[in-house]
Structure 1
Amino acid sequence: MSDFGDSLGPLGYAELGQALSASSREGFTGELRVSGRPGGTFHLRDGLVVAAESPGAPGATVLLLRSGRLTGEQWAELVREAGGAPWPAAALIAHGHAGAAQLRVICVMALHDAAFAMAAGPVDGWERAAGGEPLAPVAVGEPPTRMMQDVGRKLTALAALPYPVRPDRERPRPAARHHARVTELQQELLGHADGRRTARDLAFRTGRAVYTVTVEMGRMLARGLLECAETPTPVAVRIPPQVRVVSHRRPPPQPPRPPEQTGPPVSLPRRTPGASGITEALTPRKHGASWKGFFRLRNGSAK
């Protein structure tokens, strides 16, 4: 399971696992705030993870609203009825929009998907902080070790695909011509892929788990249903050293030192009386609706 980074690039899986393991051993209660791309926050209670959210994965609210069980107006009314609570679980159940078991499944899905999104990107650092009640907590907390084992299996399955992708890397578009039969999820992704959206963008757009969308995108690229435009070569930029180094953060890369000059110093020609001086200029060179179906589709995994 240690080779998924070879095909997916550097990941934050190891750093994340270490931070969560330390918090679990100490029975930490509060927030573990992870900085990186995309980063996010874990909420722990007595060393167990009860919730997680990340800008790299749809949260419980997005998963619920995209299921089509209720409209945005109905959601706003439930929030008002619950006194402004961001996750009006009791009101959802009372009005028949969802059952208690269904809401628990959504919360667990959101937690695991956020953990996957954070581990699938680089982690720059982390810090602990006191925190309040999370948005959509699970009733029974997840042991961090078991949760990260699940994340590791997902990363391994993703790296084993013929076309490994990352949630924030590839921006595919539908292939010019294809006559293959597609599933409902594949048809949905074909309708939203436009060459500018990543798997993360498509997950938010469709209300699916980012892991599910990322795996399906890799399969569709391998089958020729999707294609990626040629990625331009990035331009190297020299980054100056940072003055401060924050604890639990990797030190910033240092720029290479310029080569030492070994020959005699070069001086400009001195202008003498009566001479015209320098006559040439140096210019830069130019270069040229049932719940059963909803949970089956949104919690898929690579086989």
Structure 2
Amino acid sequence: MDHGGLAHALTACERDGFTGELRVPGSPGGAFHLRDGLVVAAESPGAPGAEALLLRSERVDGEQWAELVRESGARWPATGLIAHGYAGAAQLRVVCLLALRDAAFAVVAGRVDACERVTGTEPHALVAVGERPARLLEDAVRKVAAVDALPYPVRPDRERPLPVASPEQACTPLRREVLASADGRRTARDLAFRTGRGVYTVTVEVARMLSDGLLECADPPARVPLLVAPEAPVVRHREQSPAEPEATDPAELPRRAPGASGITEVLVPPASGAGWKGFFRLRHETAG
């Protein structure tokens, strides 16, 4: 199945008013959670989730998070996070939305093998107002196409860059973190998890740093075309118990409109001085 099959499957979920989970096996694969046909959450092994973004922000540590999860009965601990003052309701909504869109990008940037509807699941990190599947997928496809149009196109799980410059030579916190963590073994996806940044944000920055000569790859990055062809999806159904921005020209990376590209989708630890206000500013880290 290609990405056109994923588009058909998500569109069918919206048309049917489906409530449940659309699982997408592949590399890295992932899952979309829908309520009445709208996507309210998504996750992928290829992108840091809302939990990782919150932990990276240092407003809550691992021990505190584990206690909150226990208090919530292994559910998404939104109430506890707010009650203990670790985050506000609006801040959590932003985190969940960023994680949802980043997961969609990771799925589309990889390989899609099939789509499978599953009912009776309970998603974590819900957004209050669901995203239309077509709009969400369009945004993810646009991001992949924009990265492919860069002089050094990369994919989240493909290139393993080496640093050429030292972290002290980087002009932004993100670039310093990437240079400090890049070792020739880590992909952009690995660097995203290590830095607690969105995988799209890190993928774009790795591509730009290759172009600026701050990173290098043993083998030159090769273009991998994004194929979105209309094809009937392979959709399977099975039951499971309860326990268990406006589109732009894909050839142009929208780096100057705040919030348009997703490159600003980052949480910054308190030491940087940005704090939670960065959620609403969605600060743009300029390249080079």
Alignment TM class, shorter chain as reference: 0.7 to 0.9
Partner SS for 2:96: helix
| Structure 1 partner of 2:42 | 52
Q: Distance in 1 between matches of 2:151 and 2:181?
A: 23
Query: Which is worse superposed, 88-97 or 169-178?
Result: 169-178
Q: Deviations over 1:98-126 (max 9, x none)?
A: 00000000111111111100000111111
- Greater relative contact order, per chain length (Cα 8 Å cut-off, separation 6+): 2
The aligned length equals 237
| CA separation of 1:176 and 1:146: change in aligned 2, threshold 3 A | closer
Q: 2:25 aligns with which of 27, 35, 55?
A: 35
Identity %: 67
For residue 190 of structure 1, what is the amino acid of its counterpart?
A: L
Contact kept? 2:22, 2:33, Cα under 8 Å: yes
Matched, 1:292 2:266: no
5+ residue gaps, structure 2, are: 221-232, 236-269
Corresponding residue for residue 201 of structure 1: 190
**C-alpha displacement of 1:131:** 3.1
Match of 1:129 in 2: 118
The partner residue of 2:6 within 4, 16, 25 is 16
Checking the alignment, whether the CA contact within 8 Å between 2:168 and 2:176 is kept in structure 1 is no
Query: Structure 2 length normalisation: TM-score?
Result: 0.76
Alpha-carbon separation, structure 2, partners of 1:55 and 1:297 = 24
Shift of 1:292: 2.4
| Residue 293 (structure 1) shift | 3.1
Indicate which of 72, 77, 97 corresponds to 1:88: 77
Larger radius of gyration: 1
SS in 2 for 1:203: helix
Give how far 1:57 is off.
Answer: 0.6
TM-score normalised by length of structure 1: 0.73
RMSD, aligned CA:
2.4
Shift of 1:182: 2.2
Cα distance in 2 for partners of 1:104, 1:301 equals 25
In structure 1, stretches of 5+ residues that fail to align are 1-10, 232-246, 250-288
Query: Post-superposition shift, 1:152?
Result: 2.2
1:82-121 residue pairs with structure 2 within 5 A?
82=72, 84-121=73-110
Note the C-alpha offset of 1:226.
Answer: 0.5
Which residue of structure 1 aligns with residue 258 of structure 2? none
